[in-house]
Amino acid sequence: MLNSAAAARRALPSIDRLLKLDAVTGLIQTHGRPLVVETLRAVIDEHRSLLAKNAALPPPDDDALAAQCAKQLRALAQPSLRAVFNLTGTVLHTNLGRALYPQVAADAATDAMTRAVNLEFDLGGGARGERDSHVEAWLQRLTGAEAAVVVNNNAAAVYLVLNSLAPKKEVIVSRGELVEIGGAFRIPDIMARAGCKLKEVGTTNRTHAHDFEQAIGPRTAAIMKVHASNYAIQGFTASVPEAELAAIAHQHELPFINDLGSGMLIDLEAYGLPHEPTPRETIASGADIVTFSGDKLLGGPQCGLIVGRQDLIAKIRKNPMKRALRVDKVRLAALEAVLRLYADPVRLMRELPTLRLLTRPQTDIEAQARRVLPALAAAVGNHADAKIIACSSQIGSGALPVDALPSAGIALTPRAKRKSGAADALSSAFRALPVPVIGHIKDGAFILDLRCLDDESGFIAQLAQLQLPTHAH
C-alpha cells in the first residue's frame, strides 16, 4: 500500500494528458513541442519534489500546471539582450552597449545580414578580395593614413600591432601611461600576451625625452604612447610631445605607435566639446601606427581601427592572428555607413546619435524634464518625492574622464522613514518595467539623467506599469 506522499505524487497528471489541454496546444503552436514537453517535465518534477517533502500539500490541477508552464515559457522566450532606457548620465556606457548606430548604419547592417555580399570578392576583377578594402579608403581619407586594418576591438588592435611589429623584443612606454582599461585589462598584460617585453621609462607623473633616448637598445622594436583616455594626472607633471617622441623613434629607425583608445575623427571643439586627439593630428605629428575604437566617440560599431604607414600595415595584415581578430560583414557594413557620414559635417551632426547626444543643450534637457516630471510624480505616488535637478553627464567609455556635460534630471527621493534600501527598491522597480530604466543612486535618491532620453513618449507610456513595493513608503 502506497504511503500518503507516494499517493500524492501519483496524483500528478501524465505529460501526455497535459499535452491534450487546449492551453498547452496553444503553447505548442507558439513555442514548439520539444520545448513545451521539456518545460512540462520540469514543472511536474518541481511539484513531485514538493509533494515528497510535504504530503499534505494538495496536488495542483491541470490548469494550474498549464499556467505555470506558460509562465516559464514566457520567461524563456524573453530575449536576454534587451533595449533599455539609458538614464545613467553616461552617454557612452560600456555596460549598456556604448555608441548607438545611426539609422544608415543599422540599415546597412540589416542588408548585410539578410543578403549575400561581396565581403571578400573583387567585383571588378572577379577574384578574391580583402574585406578591409570596404572601409580602408574612407579611413585613409579621414585620417591621412596610408593604409588601414580593422579588427574586433581596440585591445585586439593593440595586441595585433605589437605581435606583428615587436615579437620577442622591447617596446618603450612611459610609466605614467600603463593604463588599465575596462574589465581589468591592462596594457602591460596585453603587451605580454603579444609576445613583446615592456620597458618602462620615467615616473608616474613625469617622463622626459632623455628617458626614452637612454632606454633605446639593440632589442628595442618600437616606442609607444598610450593616450590617458580614462584617467588624468594633474599637478607636477611632464610628458614628451608626440612630435618629439616620433623624432626620437625615427632617429633610431623605430616605429612610433600611438594608442588613442577612444579616438575621434573630427575636432570636437568645433561642436563646443573638449578637445580629444584625432588620428589625423597624431599621424601629422609623426605617428607611424595609430589605434583607436569604433564604438566610442566615433559613434560606430564595436571594432578596433589600425591606421598608418603602408609597409607596417602590410606586415600587420600578414599576421596569422589577423584572421582570428577580424570583423564580420555586419560590422564592416555598419562602419562604412558611419564613416561616410563624416564626409558631411551637417549630416553628421544630424544623424550620428553619439554626437547629437553629446551636444544636446542643457535647456532642451531641462524642458524635457518639465514635461516628464508630472508623469514620474504620478507613477511613484506617495512612495517618493520627484523634483527636477541640475546634474552633470559623462561622455564615458574612457573618453575625456574629467570633463562633464551640464545636464538635467529628475531625482526620486523615497519618503520612507527608514530610507535604507528604499532607493534601491525604486531602482529595482524601474528596471522591472517592460523597457528597463537604468539610472543611478546618489545621496539616497534615485537619479534619472535625461540627456539620453530619445523616446520620451515611450518612456512616459510605460510608467503606468511601474510596481513599487508596499514597504517602500
What is the tens place of the pLDDT at every residue in 264-276? 899 998 888 888 8
Residue 13 included in any domain:
yes
Residue 25 included in any domain:
yes
> Strands, DSSP E only, in 154-246?
170-174, 180-181, 185-186, 197-201, 220-226
Cell reading at 209: 625625452
* Domain end residue (candidates: 316, 333, 351): 351
Beta-carbon neighbour count of residue 336 at 10 Å? Answer: 19
| More confident position, 403 or 256 | 256
Cα dihedral 136, 142, 146, 151 sign = negative
Alpha carbon distance 164, 144 (integer Å): 22
Q: Are residues 415 and 333 in the same domain?
A: no
Confidence tier at 472 by pLDDT (50, 70, 90): very low
Cell reading at 346: 551637417
Residue 338 included in any domain:
yes
Q: CA-based angle 87:90:91, to the nearest 5?
A: 90
Q: Are residues 255 and 347 in the same domain?
A: yes
Alpha carbon distance 107, 426 (integer Å): 37
Q: Are residues 372 and 459 in the same domain?
A: yes
Confidence tier at 279 by pLDDT (50, 70, 90): very high
pLDDT (0 to 100) of residue 9: 63
Residue 98 included in any domain:
no
* Domain end residue (candidates: 284, 317, 351): 351
399-414 vs 220-226, strand pairing mode: unpaired
pLDDT (0 to 100) of residue 402: 56
Q: What is the pLDDT of residues 343-368, one digit of tens each?
A: 999 999 999 999 999 999 999 999 99
3-state secondary structure at position 249: helix
Say if residues 294 and 300 touch (Cβ distance below 8 Å): yes
Q: What is the pLDDT of residues 139-190, one digit of tens each?
A: 999 999 999 999 999 999 999 999 999 999 999 999 887 766 655 567 788 8
pLDDT greater than 80 at residue 401: no
Helical packing angle, 22-31 and 62-77, nearest 10°: 10
Question: How many domains does the structure of the chain reveal?
Answer: 3
Q: Are residues 46 and 134 in the same domain?
A: no
Alpha carbon distance 174, 249 (integer Å): 14
pLDDT greater than 70 at residue 2: no
Query: Which of 282, 280, 298, 286 lies closest to 398 in space, CA to CA?
Result: 298
* Domain end residue (candidates: 351, 366, 390): 351
pLDDT (0 to 100) of residue 262: 83
Q: Are residues 177 and 234 in the same domain?
A: yes
Q: What is the pLDDT of residues 205-216, one digit of tens each?
A: 788 889 889 999
Strand partners, 432: none
Contact partners, residue 336, CB within 8 Å, separation at least 6: 108, 134, 135, 138
pLDDT greater than 60 at residue 1: no
Residue 230 included in any domain:
yes
pTM: 0.89
User: What CATH number should be reported for the domain holding residue 131?
Assistant: 3.40.640.10
Say if residues 187 and 225 touch (Cβ distance below 8 Å): no
pLDDT greater than 50 at residue 328: yes
pLDDT (0 to 100) of residue 473: 43
Q: What is the pLDDT of residues 195-249, one digit of tens each?
A: 999 898 887 778 888 988 999 999 999 999 988 755 556 665 677 788 999 999 9
For residue 71, give its domain range.
4-77
Q: What secondary structure, in 3-state letters, does 391-449 show?
A: EEEEEECCEEEEEEEEEEEEEEEECCCCCCCHHHHHHHHHHCCCCCEECEEECCEEEEE
pLDDT (0 to 100) of residue 271: 87
Q: Are residues 201 and 336 in the same domain?
A: yes
Alpha carbon distance 133, 415 (integer Å): 59
Alpha carbon distance 432, 43 (integer Å): 24
Query: Which of 221, 260, 225 lies closest to 239 in space, CA to CA?
Result: 225
Cell reading at 418: 527608514
Confidence tier at 399 by pLDDT (50, 70, 90): low
Q: Are residues 120 and 252 in the same domain?
A: yes
Q: What is the pLDDT of residues 442-468, one digit of tens each?
A: 999 999 999 999 999 999 999 999 999
Report CA-CA distances (Å) from 177 to 60, 342, 395.
64, 30, 21
pLDDT (0 to 100) of residue 230: 53
Instruction: Give residue 426's Cα distance to chain centre.
Output: 25
User: What CATH number should be reported for the domain holding residue 454?
Assistant: 3.90.1150.180
Q: Are residues 126 and 251 in the same domain?
A: yes
pLDDT (0 to 100) of residue 398: 61
Mean pLDDT of 97-101: 95
Query: Which of 190, 158, 180 lies closest to 231 in space, CA to CA?
Result: 180
Q: What percent of the chain has pLDDT over 70?
A: 92
Give the long-range contacts of residues 25-29, CB within 8 A, separation 24 or more.
Answer: 27/66, 27/69, 27/70, 27/73
pLDDT (0 to 100) of residue 421: 86
Q: Are residues 258 and 141 in the same domain?
A: yes
Residue 322 included in any domain:
yes
Contact partners, residue 130, CB within 8 Å, separation at least 6: 120, 317
Q: Are residues 345 and 383 in the same domain?
A: no
Contact partners, residue 358, CB within 8 Å, separation at least 6: 91, 268, 271, 273, 395, 405
Residue 236 included in any domain:
yes
Mean pLDDT of 417-440: 90
Residue 387 included in any domain:
yes
Q: What is the pLDDT of residues 293-304, one digit of tens each?
A: 999 999 999 999
* Burial class of residue 304, CB neighbours in 10 A (0-12, 13-18, 19+): buried
Q: Are residues 55 and 189 in the same domain?
A: no
Strand partners, 242: none
Alpha carbon distance 89, 137 (integer Å): 35
The rounded mean pLDDT for the chain is: 91
Say if residues 337 and 104 touch (Cβ distance below 8 Å): yes
Q: Are residues 341 and 373 in the same domain?
A: no
pLDDT greater than 70 at residue 417: no
